[in-house]
Structure 1
Amino acid sequence: MMELVEPAPAKLNLALHVRGKLPDGRHRIETIFAFCTDGDRLAVTPADDLSLKISGPFVSDLGSSDENLALRAAQALQERAGVKGGAALALTKNLPVASGIGGGSADAAATLRLLTRLWAIDPKHAAAIAPTLGADVPACLLSMTARGDGAGDDLQLTDAGVSGKPVLLINPRVEVSTREVFARWNGEDKGSLDDWRDGRNDLEPIATAMVPLVGAVLAWLSVQQGAEVVRMSGSGATCFALFDSEEARDAASVAVPREWWKLATYLR
């Protein structure tokens, strides 16, 4: 039976500036999205009905597959495109849940790409559905380095000069609520995002106050030899460091405390 496979790359926010509120109540941000060469994995085979099976190291941290964003994406695409057939989806969950690296959004985006191929439908349907599933889903649908404005879904492809860069991701195995982190933003606009290397993540101090382990991870990464840029991604709790060489990244990866999750990878 034919099986199609699609990666769901981990998403990083190289910088994330919170500038204010939009008329619809969402936060207005400026960010640079980048994507790793590793992440979750989606596979699909033709079927009469839509279904989702989940496996992988973080499957126990997810709720019912009926509530999964990947399945919701599939249902929305099926309805919009008027597809009569179904699909048997299989998600391998390699990334931590609620960790600021786009796990659910990346899974939904990969599902849209995968089913667009399987059902041979116009990609415009996936592009129309993506914003309805979450602010990060349009960026994850592209899975290319891009600047995000508005709620992060107003996208413009950009060259951040990071393709092929060795990167180490660390999560202290603590979930952080995106909603709660944004709710604690104090409303201070600290300025626009110009060069991401000189930028910041405005959610970092909030998440660190909520989960001190985030600060511990950032401090640990900051003293690793060869670490050039150290930041938290999204609303946390995953932090990352860009390294000047693969050897420096791998040396740091070996030294990561055993109780923390890690991923040594590259940027696309």
Structure 2
Amino acid sequence: MSEPLADHAPAKINLTLHVRGRRADGYHELESLVAFAGVGDDLRLVPGPHLSLRVGGPTAASVGDPADNLVLKAARLLAERVPGLETGAFHLVKRLPVAAGIGGGSSDAAAALRLLAQRNDLPLSHPALREAARLTGADVPVCLDPRARMMRGIGEELGPPLALPRLFAVLVNPRVPVETPAVFGALGLQPGQSLGGEVHPVPEAASIRSLLGSLEAARNDLEAPARTIQPVIGEALDLVARTGNCRLARMSGSGATVFGLYDDSRSAADAARFILGRRPGWWVEATSLD
């Protein structure tokens, strides 16, 4: 039997998220600067004749039926496009909260595709791999090669990797799920409606200070509608903003996870302790973003 393969599935953080409008087909056009955190899930593949998935870890109880997991969906979509694809048994160690706006399920699926690509000697640029990622979910393509970049359209338009300076962050989730369709519904755009405005600039930041300046001038357009669905998001943002040396507090994706940005790792760690001391039941992680 071949040796097991392992990969990390990092949390995806939307540092910005501008909604450009809603297309006639109902999908929303987005512009988002995406980065990836050090914290995430872990996925292991034991090569074998049967495709399967076992889920464990701190947040495994909230994952639901493994048969419906995006890991298996991605693997099956790839198998349909690559005759004789060698698969096996996946074991997912789930650490990220579910329905949290940080792409946990999408990142897991992307890690599965990377492992299958490694097992079958496929480059990440292989058309079948890219197509399987696109069909699995809107955030899977950007997670396939987890590096900071601009993401546009409904997630299918990816800019080149960006050499951003490392950011230090605290991620906070009040352990309430937020369903993305409900947030877009609360945004209230009609099919064909455009928000207009200037195009999101591609950041060119050689330092943390200049990058933070660019981020402060941007926004997350889903933050306000998400707060109407789960007001605790506002509480989490207020708590993060109160931490020492916090340079920016913002929600990621469609929530409910929020993040704070700091100049150094010590400030991020201090912020995590501050928040956990006041909300010990929340999910809180100090990490870095690249």
User: Partners of 1:24 and 1:110 in 2: how far apart?
Assistant: 30
The number of residue pairs the alignment matches comes to 267
Cα displacement (A) at 1:159: 2.8
User: Partners of 1:83 and 1:40 in 2: how far apart?
Assistant: 28
The counterpart of 1:234, out of the listed 249, 253, 259, is 253
The TM-score normalised by the length of structure 2 is 0.88
The letter of the residue matching 1:212 is: P
Residue equivalent to 1:151: 154
Aligned ranges for residues 83-98 of structure 1 at < 5 Å?
83-98=84-99
- The answer to whether the 8 A contact 1:226-1:245 is kept is no
Residue equivalent to 2:145: 142
- The answer to whether the 8 A contact 1:169-1:241 is kept is yes
The letter of the residue matching 2:200 is: L
Residue equivalent to 2:204: none
1:109 corresponds to 2:110: yes
Residue equivalent to 2:170: 168
- The answer to whether the 8 A contact 1:144-1:157 is kept is no
* Unaligned stretches of 5+ residues in structure 2: 202-213
1:3 corresponds to 2:4: yes
User: Partners of 2:262 and 2:163 in 1: how far apart?
Assistant: 15
Residue equivalent to 2:207: none
SS at match of 1:29: strand
SS at match of 1:200: coil
Per-residue CA deviations over 1:135-182 (Å, capped at 9, x if unaligned) read 11111112110101111220102536342x211000000000101101
The counterpart of 2:195, out of the listed 189, 198, 204, is 189
- The answer to whether the 8 A contact 1:49-1:85 is kept is no
SS at match of 2:116: helix
From the superposition, tell whether residues 208 and 160 of structure 1 become closer, same or farther in structure 2 (CA, over 3 Å). Answer: farther
The letter of the residue matching 1:239 is: V
Residue equivalent to 1:266: 288
The letter of the residue matching 1:80 is: R
SS at match of 1:40: strand
From the superposition, tell whether residues 108 and 150 of structure 1 become closer, same or farther in structure 2 (CA, over 3 Å). Answer: same
Q: Which moved more, 1:188-197 or 1:41-50?
A: 188-197
- The answer to whether the 8 A contact 2:86-2:119 is kept is no
The letter of the residue matching 1:57 is: P
Q: 4+ residue stretches of structure 1 with deviation over 4 A?
A: none
User: Quick check: which one's strand share is greater?
Assistant: 1
From the superposition, tell whether residues 193 and 19 of structure 1 become closer, same or farther in structure 2 (CA, over 3 Å). Answer: same
Task: Please give the root-mean-square deviation of Cα atoms over the aligned residues, in Å.
Answer: 1.5
- The answer to whether the 8 A contact 2:59-2:95 is kept is yes
User: Partners of 1:85 and 1:146 in 2: how far apart?
Assistant: 31
Residue equivalent to 1:180: 182
User: Partners of 1:158 and 1:118 in 2: how far apart?
Assistant: 25
Residue equivalent to 2:50: 49
Residue equivalent to 1:245: 264
Cα displacement (A) at 1:190: 6.6
- The answer to whether the 8 A contact 1:32-1:196 is kept is no
User: Partners of 1:160 and 1:210 in 2: how far apart?
Assistant: 35
The counterpart of 1:130, out of the listed 123, 133, 150, is 133
The counterpart of 1:208, out of the listed 227, 230, 237, is 227
